[in-house]
Structure 1
Amino acid sequence: MNVRAFSLLAFAGLTFAVFAQSTPSSSDSKPAVVAELFTSEGCSSCPPADALLVQMDGKTYAGAPIIVLSEHVDYWNHDGWRDPFSSEQWTQRQNDYNLRFRLDSVYTPQMVIDGSQQVNGSNGGQIGHAIETAAAQPGKLQITIADASWNNDVLHATVSVSDPSPQAAKGTTLYAVLADDQDTSNVAKGENSGRTLTHVSVVRVLQKVSSLHGPYSGPVEIKLPHGVNRSKMRLIVFAQKGQNGQIFGAAQREV
């Protein structure tokens, strides 16, 4: 069975083997691809996409590691259930993408691949094709994260970025994300009432680190938001162009 067909069957409830390929050798490996899922616990169409993101998490496809982000929007909160991970900030980020994509309106579940392609977050075939396209893009940056540690409720790390090409450097900003490794909710009301939902890489903080004009090495400090429990989390760093939203490189590590 070919890879594209397997990805289409994934949505039918089969194991998401399309993203479970063996890790390529170092000579064949490519920079990571970022998959952002805009989702909500108040949306009945979102649980399949959430489950798909769990299957994608930590996998490699088309020679590229996949870094996933779960960004919970807040515009479903009026339908009986307030998503505990939702934020207006993620709704605004989705709106910014939709302006670039020239869509008539926002929707969930929506997945954005490397900031440059948007697909239905439940469609394994579309997702696989978009990741394959993103993995083939040249000129990505090498990003590394070192010395990540907590000091009370502040995360400290050192981030390094390789010398970017003129195309990658122009108008590109380095961002840092603090995300829950995994969360589970027992939804009591709304469209998903009675369901237990599992999410991975749930974004809690997204902040600017620095504009990029050349190679970069410097500190990152992220304060844990009030009310967020510091258990197992992830630090994700990515470089994104402001003009068109394209992501030119990313890295992650557990903290």
Structure 2
Amino acid sequence: MTRTHRWAATAFTCLALTGIAAGPAFATTPADGTGLATDAAFLRASHQGNLTEIAAGKDAQKNATTDCVKNVGKVLVRDHTKLDADTRALADKQGVDLPAAPSKEQQDTLAAVMAKAGTKAYDKAWLDAQAAAHEKTLARIDNQIAHGKNAEVTAAAKAARPVVAMHLDMVRGGECHAASATHPKAIHAGNGGHVATSLAAEVPVALAVPAVAVGGVLVAGGAFWAASRMRRNDNR
């Protein structure tokens, strides 16, 4: 087994041991053309995307060689942590089981980028991966807006779209655009199962997300960081 494969495998073994990578099977959703399957699939895919972007953002803050990429990574962690808290709350309200880890494809992409940590190639690989990921996320959001049946899930998709579009602008074409890293003071969030009021429509990004919603993500980020350190030690 190569060093890269060994440390990447270790990272996801750590996730499994902490209960992040070995979640319950997905609940069965109807495929009757009502759009309910689309709603549930959107919540699951959104959660996996958020987990991926949080892990990638944390890694960029540690391993990117330019301030621009480090700053974009910080924005991703902040925004996707908030978006994931809303996704979790909405999934809980709708009775949708969420996966406990990114998809196999997302894990492989993360591992490939992390393998370049400490080199100039890292930043380019990270930006390319983020550009592709956010293009897919926008397509998924637009599909939910067009075909979703659950009003709350669709409202959450509409609320998330400008945030994701802003992220894409920061990494579009695999290039870092520092000028696009300006972030609105608040993310307009769906009610996520909470009582909607005119005062609660705007949720400040700076508000702390409950630990129960993001604790697993923090552990995941730590596992990736530990594996990255192992890789660098192997190369010495």
TM range (shorter): under 0.3
Q: Which has the higher helix share?
A: 2
TM-score, L = length of structure 1: 0.24
Greater relative contact order (Cα < 8 A, sep 6+): 2
Q: Which has the higher strand share?
A: 1
TM-score, L = length of structure 2: 0.25
